[in-house]
Chain A
Amino acid sequence: MINKPFFDIVLVLLASSSVCSRELKLVLFQQKRVNRESLKLLNKLQTSSIQQCLPHRKNFLLPQKSVNPHQYQKGQALTILHEMLQQIFNLFRAIISLNGWEESHMEKLLIELHQQLKYLEALMRWQAQQKRDTLGSENLRLQVKIYFQRIRDYLENQDYSTCAWTIVQVEINRCLFFVFQLTGKLSKQGMET
């Protein structure tokens, strides 16, 4: 007869993988909601205002290698995701407190971001229990931190002007697109394992 502990291990693995895949599906679904809210915020920007702010454009040097979903392991992707969303959350929270722009839409976006962060933190805790490989993620996290620091510096230099905020909103939407791609890749990897 097959040992009973073997069955216990199999059941735990199946349960873990099902929990993980469920969490990943939640992350993916929630990311869609985040992107949708962010796009709503962006669409509120008038094209004229965008065109007016063309001279204020700045290259923030988004670390595209860092956000390339094809080069990550599962543990690294989670770290990058969490860091990016955390930075975006902090940035929007700072903007809404300073200027009070679009409070209702901004609050909604912050709520969705907060929920997404919760899902990601749960996944990271599970990953820490599984002792998954997270080597090399700190360097990527640092690159993301530096990127967002440039954005904050730009806003400060522009005195948090309307155009500066418009430029930053456009940049954040670029980030969210990468985050969405990364989330999709992570979800696919999680369901395959």
Chain B
Amino acid sequence: MVLSQNVSAVGPLNLYPMVHISLMFGISYVLPDFSDESCTLKMTLRNLQSVLSWELKNHSIVPTHYTLWYTIMSKQEDMKIVGDCTNITRSFCDLTDVWVNMTEMYIPKVVGFRGNAELVSCMGSFFLAMDTLPLDPPEFEIVGFTDHISVNVKFQSVAPKILNEEELQFYLALIEEQSGGTVKKHKPQINGNVTENFIYIIDKLIPKTNYCVSVYFEPKHPRKINRSPLKCTLFQPGWESESSESATIGGIITLFLVAAVVISTVMMLKRIGYICVRNNFPKVLNFNKLSVWVFPELPPLEKVATVELIHINRKKKVWNYNYDDESDSDDEAAPRISAGGYTTHGLTGRLWPASVSSATLEDCSDPATEERDLPEPEADAEALTAPGPSPWQSECTSRGYQGRGNLLQDPFSEEDSSPTEGSGDRIVFNVDLNSVCVRALEDNDDSEVTPMLASGPEETAVLEDPDETESNLLLVASGEGTQLPFPGPSAEYPWPEDSPSDESDTSESDVDMGDGYVMR
């Protein structure tokens, strides 16, 4: 095209074509100014449409129509005319479908005519990828409801080819006019092409507050942002309950979520082993039980047997060289007055199933029992069981006793004891016969000595300080907890009443510790 060639060749280095142009058109200009000084070219994105607009600086020149050409810088191409912008009276042209390549630098040229005469010509250069093209905001409407504001944004039906949705971010600015101009931004997610109308709901608003809304585009490339004019509405009252309810529900849900996250985190850490590490310590290293420290359990001691002592009241016999068995039964024990003033009792033992009792056998008695004994000089023996160790027993000092057992009843009395009635008087001992000495009763002395029971591996127990006067006590115990056959003291134990002399001989035949005590 001759005109385009002549136009493109204008410049101080090309005088010949300029002269040619002036001769052709009859316009006398030596150096036509094809810069943008005669008019201002502006490229904008109006509603996502690429629009080139122009404005003449010299308003005295009023063309009747315009024609638009353009070319690109990347290669040698002639000026191309824009078909939709040929002989137009408006001063802008939609190039959405024409300038589609963002990487190109476009060189537009606008020529104003009056009739067939060219009045003015403007050229420019636009690099769409880099130029700061302002984006005009879209049209929108707002509608206030009881609990929210609805913003209806109207996009063009035809998406502009020049814009990439990924490079364009649509913003919806919310302005609170009454609260001092606090601006809250909303970024509605727009999926797909921006073609249809878009409705955005704004909720969680403060009642009785005037809200103004403005929308605009913000492209990723640096561009100027044109905000839309504000549109305001008053948020009506009566939304408080709903908003507060929704806030409450939201808060509860948030709390649940936080708690779930915390619990799951703790469970995960516990399962991994970072917290609550299990200590598989041996039991002996377990110091968590306070009662162990306060009331330390004594280790189990040797098994002891429960022995029932049967108090036998025996009459003092006068030696008459008569060996008849006259008076005593098996269950009797004649009290003897010992040298120390103690009355000894010969007691027959009865085997009980051995009980593991760890009581110290000491010559000390329960103060309660002692108290009972004092008002009862008759020394009624009561059969008592030893439930187990008691503090007073542990505190009692042993007087030479090495064994353990429970002496629950002081069988001795300081007075002459009259023979007790019948076989109801019984005293039960838990004695560890391993370390006690049992004295055998002997009738040939002043004190009666009951013979020791020797039955297998059982131990004998010493119930009395050897320094003390002898006492009659017959203990039968089973070291292993089995109930040994106890046919009767008369069968196995030679009673002193039966044959005192024999008993003494018997006791002497046993391990005699002196004073008639026999220890195994």
A interface residues, Cβ below 8 angstroms from B: 1-2, 32, 35-36, 39, 42, 46-48, 50-52, 54-55, 57-60, 62, 167, 170-171, 173-174, 176-178, 180, 184
**A39 and B35 contacting across the interface, CB-CB below 8 Å:** no
Q: Is the CB of A51 within 8 A of B123?
A: yes
Residue of B nearest to A61 (CB): B75
Query: Which residues of B does A touch, CB under 8 Å?
Result: 8-11, 13, 34-36, 71, 73-76, 102-105, 107, 123-125, 127, 129-130, 220, 222, 272-273
How many A-B contacts if CB must be within 8 Å?
72
CB within 8 Å for A50 and B73 given contacts A42-B130, A177-B102: yes
Given contacts A173-B130, A177-B102, contact A51 B107 (CB under 8 A): yes
Known: A1-B272, A167-B73. A46 touches B35 (CB 8 A): yes
Partner of A2, one of B13, B75, B104, B272: B272
15 new A-B contacts at CB < 8 Å, known A2-B272, A58-B75, A174-B103: A1-B272, A39-B130, A46-B35, A47-B35, A47-B36, A47-B125, A50-B73, A51-B35, A51-B123, A54-B71, A57-B73, A59-B76, A170-B127, A177-B102, A184-B220
- B129's nearest neighbour on chain A, judged by CB, is A177
| Complex: A82 Cα to B457 Cα, angstroms | 100
Q: Is the CB of A170 within 8 A of B36?
A: no
**A residues in contact with B73, CB < 8 Å:** 50, 54, 57, 167, 170
B232 to nearest A CB, angstroms? 36
Main SS of the interface on chain A?
helix
Residues of B contacting A60 in the complex (Cβ-Cβ under 8 angstroms): 74
Minimum CB–CB distance for B295 against chain A, Å: 38
What 9 A-B pairs come out closest when comparing CB atoms?
A59-B75, A177-B129, A1-B273, A48-B35, A39-B130, A52-B11, A170-B73, A57-B76, A50-B125
What residues on A are CB-neighbors of B125 within 8 Å? 47, 50-51
Contact of B74 among A48, A52, A171 (CB under 8 A): A171
Among B74, B75, B272, chain A packs the most CB atoms within 10 A around the CB of B74
Report B-chain residues with C-beta under 8 Å of the C-beta of A173. Answer: 105, 127, 129-130
Known: A42-B130, A47-B35, A48-B34. A58 touches B222 (CB 8 A): no
Q: Provide the bound-state CA to CA distance between A35 and B71, in Å.
A: 23
Kindly state the separation between the CA atoms of A167 and B72 in the bound complex, as whole angstroms. 11
The reply to whether B130 and A57 form a contact with Cβ atoms under 8 Å apart is: no
Interfacial chain B residues near A52, Cβ < 8 Å: 11, 13
Residue in A closest to B104 when the chains form the complex, CB atoms:
A174
Quick one: closest B residue to A184, CB to CB?
B220
Closest residue to A53 on the B side, CB-wise?
A: B73
Shortest B63–chain A CB gap in Å is 20
Question: Smallest CB–CB gap between B42 and chain A, Å?
Answer: 13
CB <8 Å contact, B103 and A57: no
* Nearest opposing residue in chain A for B127, CB measure: A173
Q: Are the CB atoms of B74 and A57 closer together than 8 Å?
A: yes
